[in-house]
């Protein structure tokens, strides 16, 4: 798992701050100019308590998390019934769906063929709640460099 912040902007991707200076004419659309979408502003509400990790297996495919999925989790959010949680259980970090039924705690993978596992609360450490997941939709990265 990794944690990293991105504060710098890529000036090449930003719109011109003063398009009139580049062309010599003031653009009527300048009043409607918007900044670029900053994905971290959308995904991260509490930077101090937000972490990122990558799924290494397809065991959570029914929960929308396949191998290679990046997920964002927040350690300051209290886990609720049906939350996706990052847990330390039986000596390893896992992502599971949390089921709270009365005082009973269950963890599941979302597979219809698997019953959620009943957990002793003393054996479980809930590290955080998954707030976002970002799945790759291409199996092979595309190259954006044109060959001649």
Start-to-end CA distance of the chain, whole Å, equals 39
Which pTM was predicted? Answer: 0.70
> Do 68 and 54 contact (CB within 8 A), yes or no?
yes
Partners of 74 in beta bridges? 50, 129
Q: What is the pLDDT of residue 112?
A: 86
Q: What is the pLDDT of residue 15?
A: 59
Reading the chain (148 residues) residue by residue, the pLDDT tens digits are: 333 444 455 666 555 565 555 566 666 766 666 667 788 888 899 999 999 999 999 999 998 898 999 999 999 999 999 999 999 998 999 999 999 999 999 999 988 888 999 999 888 999 999 999 998 877 665 666 666 6
Domains of the chain in start order, with CATH, are 52-134 (2.10.109.10)
3-class DSSP state of 78 = coil
User: Torsion over CA of 84, 85, 86 and 91, rounded to 10 degrees?
Assistant: -110
Q: Is the dihedral of CA 52, 92, 95, 101 positive or negative?
A: negative
> Do 73 and 53 contact (CB within 8 A), yes or no?
yes
């Amino acid at each position: 798992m990794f944690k990293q912040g991105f504060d710098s902007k890529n000036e090449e991707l930003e719109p011109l701050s003063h398009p009139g200076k580049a062309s010599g004419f003031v653009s009527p659309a300048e009043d409607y100019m918007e900044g670029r979408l900053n994905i971290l502003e959308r995904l991260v509400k509490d930077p101090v308590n937000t972490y990122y990790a990558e799924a290494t297996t397809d065991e959570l495919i029914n929960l929308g998390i396949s191998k290679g999925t990046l997920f964002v989790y927040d350690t300051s959010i209290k886990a609720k019934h049906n939350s996706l949680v990052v847990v330390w259980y039986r000596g390893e970090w896992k992502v599971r769906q949390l089921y709270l039924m009365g005082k009973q705690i269950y963890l599941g993978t979302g597979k219809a063929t698997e019953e959620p596992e009943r957990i002793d609360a003393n054996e479980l450490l809930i590290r955080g709640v998954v707030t976002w997941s970002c799945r790759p939709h291409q199996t092979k990265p595309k190259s954006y460099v044109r060959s001649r």
